[in-house]
A and B are shown apart, each in its own frame.
Chain A
C-alpha cells in the first residue's frame, strides 16, 4: 500500500452535510491525488497536490475542495454532499521509479450520500 492510509474507510451521510476524507502518507512524497471510481468511468481525477498548500483541479473537481497543510496529509472536502457524490474515493501518491513516476493507491473510502 506504499504507506498510504485513508480515513474513514466507509461513510454514510445525508444530502447537504459536509464531509471530509483524509489521506495520510508516511514517506514524504510530493505529489498526492484524489480520484473517484464509478461504474463505466474508471478512475477520474478530482484534485491533486504538488506540495504543501499547492493544489490544482482535475477532471471532476466541481463540488469538491482540498487542502494540504502538511506533506503527509491531503484532505478532500465535500462542502455540501449530494447523491451524485456517492462513490469510492481513492487517494494516490506519485513515486519516481527509474525514468518515470508510478502512482500507488490507498485502500479507498466508500462514501454513500442518502
Chain B
C-alpha cells in the first residue's frame, strides 16, 4: 500500500480567489499521478494524468504541476467560482492499481 497524502483536508475560499493544494507521494517507483474532481453525490471525474517530472497540465482555470524527484504535485485553481466546489482527489498508479489520497474539500463562497 502506497501512502498518498493531500493537504489541506478542507478549504474555504471567496469567489474570485485563487487557491492551490498539495498531493504528496513516495518518490521512488513513480509511474503516474492522477487528479480527479469529485462533486457531492456524483462519481469522481478525471482531470489530469501526469507521468513526467516537470509536467504541467491545464484545463480552463485549473492547472497542475508535478515534481517526481521530491514527491509532490500541486493543483491550482485561478479565480475560484462556486461551481468549483468539490473534493479534489489525487491518486498514484504504479501499475494497474490506483492509490488514492483522502482528498481536499474545496468550498467556494459566493
Contact = CB atoms under 8 A, between A and B. Distances in A.
Interface of A: 1, 31, 33, 40-45, 48, 50, 58-59, 90, 94, 97-108
A40 B96 contact: no
Of B49, B93, B98, B103, the most chain A CB neighbours within 10 A belong to B98
Contacts, number: 52
Given A90-B44, A98-B49, 18 more contacts: A1-B43, A31-B96, A40-B102, A41-B102, A42-B100, A43-B44, A94-B96, A99-B32, A99-B51, A100-B31, A100-B49, A100-B93, A102-B46, A102-B49, A103-B34, A103-B91, A105-B45, A108-B43
Contacts of A101: 32, 93, 96
A105 B43 contact: yes
A98 B103 CA distance: 25
A52 B64 CA distance: 36
Interface extent on B, as a size class? 20 to 34
Contacts of B42: 107
A37 to B, nearest CB: 9
A42 B103 contact: yes
B46 A42 contact: no
Contact of A43 (B46, B51, B100): B100
B32 A100 contact: yes
**Residue in A41, A50, A105, A106 with the greatest tally of chain B CB atoms within 10 Å:** A105
B96 A59 contact: no
A72 to B, nearest CB: 18
B77 interface: no
Contacts of B103: 42
A50 B96 contact: yes
B89 interface: yes
A53 B89 CA distance: 30
B100 A104 contact: no
A31 B97 CA distance: 10
Contacts of B91: 43, 103
B109 to A, nearest CB: 22
Given A99-B51, A100-B51, A42 B43 contact: no
